[in-house]
Structure 1
Amino acid sequence: MPKYIVGAYATAPQTEQWDAQVHADYLNGIKGLANVAGIEHAFAGHLHPEDDAWFIENVNPEWEFVFTGVPGITGNIGRNPLFGIASDDSSGRQEALRFYEKMRMAVLKLNSHLYRNAVSFVQLHTSPNRAVADSSSTSLIKSLAEMQGWDWGGAQLVIEHCDAYVDGQKPSKGFLSIDDELSAIASVNNASGSTIGMSINWGRSALETRSVEGPLAHIRLARESGLLCGLMFSGVSNVKGPYGMWEDTHMPPALPLDGAEDVYFSADSLLTKHEISRCLAAADGANLRYLGIKIGVRPSTLSALERVACNRNTLAMFAD
């Protein structure tokens, strides 16, 4: 049975106050999905935003972990628009490197408690938002050259491409172009012998290009460069609705079959079973190092078990 990575944090229960039992029920449900290899885990400054010990106790110790710093990066950009590993501002770039050093320590902490190199990939992001701050592949190369020399506990560094800044278009992230990212990765890999790779998120590529053809183009670029490692599916919409229009809200996919009824899918999503199949073919899915989903759900009142069902039903779209 093929197994996948689930961006479990995006579907996690939303409560007014931290409720350890509700979140434990949710993670236990994810553990019960036989086709889950592991989770994409969000880092914002600590291993877990509420309780590191609780997290270590409640995850499946056999899971594979993919770390992402997007929540922490978003928060840091809110405080300092110059923040980012691609920033042309030296202080903003150094601040981002310090953030990733904290992430590295969280990776090593999880590995230590699980008695193995459980974190397989660390996803990097090429902030700042170019709509408000200058960034470049030159600055990114400096950061990657330094970071690849750190001890990441066996995890491979991967740039997850977010929507790039496009002149005249409101960005969600507005980071570097995929061409600049691929060029920087190749430069550092060639100079140091490192193995930094690239990950594509379907929704973010569609958002950037305002088209379902965008993810395909980005997948092909990364694959042809020999750098494609991961592929994660989030949806996006081109119409106004509860998930926003061209917003990075990890929208669920559309209904998998005509006439199907499922409250966990969204009719307005551009992500369909057909688009998933096209992208897997373009990626040569059998050679991907990790593949999975990262979806958010509405309304916020959905129970832990309903949120598990949302992930279960979305993963079913990978089936032939």
Structure 2
Amino acid sequence: MNTIVYSAYNAAPARLSDDFEAEEQWYPQLRSEPRIGGLELPVLDGRLHPRGLATLAGLLDPGWSNTVSAMSMTLSASRDDPLYGLASRDPAGRRRALDDISSAHAETLQLREQLGPSSIRAFVLQSAPRADRSSLWAFTESLREIAGWDWANIELLIEHSDALIGRQPAQKGYLGLEEEIEAVQSASGYGPGRIRHLINWGRSAIEGRNARTPSEHVAKLGDGLGAFAFSGAAPTATNRSAEWEDAHLGLAADEPASLLDADGVRELLRQLPDGLNYIGVKTGAPKGSAGADRLRLGLALLDLLPLDHPAPVIN
């Protein structure tokens, strides 16, 4: 069975973790969906939950196998410090990012200790800041340091976002996929664990300005692909996004401007290599939605994902 990891926080009500009552209503909806095998847990300010790990552990399904992502923390820090990131040419900006990842690493292992050895399957990193403030050398050095930490059975994944390409307006504008591949290859072997790549359909489509780029990225990575996440993107404005905005759109059947349709999902699934850590779903909430309806776009994607292949065993 493929493990499906759902990035439910992208569809969650604003400031959910600050609202105890809202959390008590939100998480049971997720736990009641049997197709969800885990959640993508965002890190902010080096922490997984503002009220502590015991609170988060009590909200999660004990049977889930979750991932932890540094993206929210990276984006938040980058807004205040454009030199912040693991790939930063600025030594101080790179050190700040490494220190934050170190704090998130400690939190992740503590949560794993509370929930069990299968509770965290991957930790996701990004090659920030924008590529004109980054270098392959800096990112490689950061990955080598991080790979040397004790990650138990948690796999490191490098999430590719849209690369900085000429004068094309960028959403993230991080390093190119070829540079990220080179960094991963250079950092592999600096720790006992495996480092692979995470591709997001929407972010690859935004980079290439078409629906073919996600497939091209998958083909380029081959067995180096560790996980794949489905998220839509649109070349025109929608009622909740600008053109080519990384707004985590759903399927075209639900958000007509989205380039991601059911046939495209099925075609991409046939291309994915065996042995993925997980398949992800990352969608926002429909405009004006509330309660369980905020999950509608993600649940529609779940309907298309296969659950009949064996998932990797976590020792």
Q: Could you tell me the TM-score, scaled by structure 1's length? A: 0.90
The residue aligned with 2:104 is 103
Structure 2 residue aligned with 1:298, among 267, 286, 304? 286
How do residues 1-320 of structure 1 correspond to structure 2 at under 5 angstroms?
A: 2-14=2-14, 18-45=18-45, 46-130=47-131, 133-189=132-188, 194-223=193-222, 226-241=223-238, 242-255=240-253, 265-284=254-273, 286-299=274-287, 301-318=288-305
**In the aligned structure 2, how far is the partner of 1:309 from the partner of 1:10?**
12
Deviation, structure 1 residue 190: 5.0
- The C-alpha deviation readout for 1:115-167, integer Å capped at 9, x for no partner, is 3352110010000012xx42121111111111001122321111010111111
**In the aligned structure 1, how far is the partner of 2:194 from the partner of 2:306?**
31
Deviation, structure 1 residue 178: 0.3
5+ unaligned residues in a row in structure 1: which ranges? 256-264
Letter in 2 for 1:314: L
Letter in 2 for 1:227: G
Deviation, structure 1 residue 302: 2.1
Deviation, structure 1 residue 49: 3.8
Runs of 4+ in 1 over 4 A off after TM superposition: 190-194
Q: Is the 8 A contact 1:67 1:123 kept in 2?
A: yes
Indicate how the Cα distance of structure 1 residues 238 and 287 shifts in structure 2: closer, same or farther if over 3 A, else same: same
What is the CA RMSD across the aligned residues, in angstroms? 2.0
Indicate how the Cα distance of structure 1 residues 149 and 192 shifts in structure 2: closer, same or farther if over 3 A, else same: closer
**In the aligned structure 2, how far is the partner of 1:268 from the partner of 1:176?**
27
Deviation, structure 1 residue 304: 2.3
Q: Is the 8 A contact 2:155 2:193 kept in 1?
A: no
Indicate how the Cα distance of structure 1 residues 315 and 105 shifts in structure 2: closer, same or farther if over 3 A, else same: same
**In the aligned structure 1, how far is the partner of 2:211 from the partner of 2:293?**
28
Indicate how the Cα distance of structure 1 residues 282 and 91 shifts in structure 2: closer, same or farther if over 3 A, else same: same
What secondary structure, in the 3-state scheme, does the structure 2 residue paired with 1:287 have? coil
Deviation, structure 1 residue 198: 0.4
**In the aligned structure 2, how far is the partner of 1:228 from the partner of 1:237?**
24
What secondary structure, in the 3-state scheme, does the structure 2 residue paired with 1:158 have? strand
Q: Is the 8 A contact 1:252 1:266 kept in 2?
A: yes
**In the aligned structure 1, how far is the partner of 2:50 from the partner of 2:304?**
31
Deviation, structure 1 residue 94: 0.7
- The C-alpha deviation readout for 1:71-105, integer Å capped at 9, x for no partner, is 11011111111111111111111111001001101
The residue aligned with 1:260 is none
Letter in 2 for 1:307: R
Q: Is the 8 A contact 2:16 2:23 kept in 1?
A: no
**In the aligned structure 1, how far is the partner of 2:269 from the partner of 2:256?**
22
Q: Is the 8 A contact 1:29 1:308 kept in 2?
A: no
What is the identity percentage for the equivalent residue pairs of Structure 1 and Structure 2?
A: 27
Letter in 2 for 1:115: G
Q: Is the 8 A contact 1:13 1:23 kept in 2?
A: no
What secondary structure, in the 3-state scheme, does the structure 1 residue paired with 2:101 have? helix
Deviation, structure 1 residue 113: 1.5
What secondary structure, in the 3-state scheme, does the structure 1 residue paired with 2:18 have? coil
The residue aligned with 1:261 is none
5+ unaligned residues in a row in structure 2: which ranges? 308-315
Letter in 2 for 1:22: A
Q: Is the 8 A contact 2:184 2:196 kept in 1?
A: yes
Indicate how the Cα distance of structure 1 residues 94 and 273 shifts in structure 2: closer, same or farther if over 3 A, else same: same
Letter in 2 for 1:14: A
**In the aligned structure 2, how far is the partner of 1:182 from the partner of 1:16?**
35
Letter in 2 for 1:210: R
Q: Could you tell me the TM-score, scaled by structure 2's length? A: 0.91
**In the aligned structure 1, how far is the partner of 2:192 from the partner of 2:32?**
39
**In the aligned structure 2, how far is the partner of 1:25 from the partner of 1:35?**
19
Q: Is the 8 A contact 2:5 2:281 kept in 1?
A: yes
Q: Is the 8 A contact 1:163 1:175 kept in 2?
A: yes
**In the aligned structure 1, how far is the partner of 2:221 from the partner of 2:190?**
19
| Count of matched residue pairs | 305
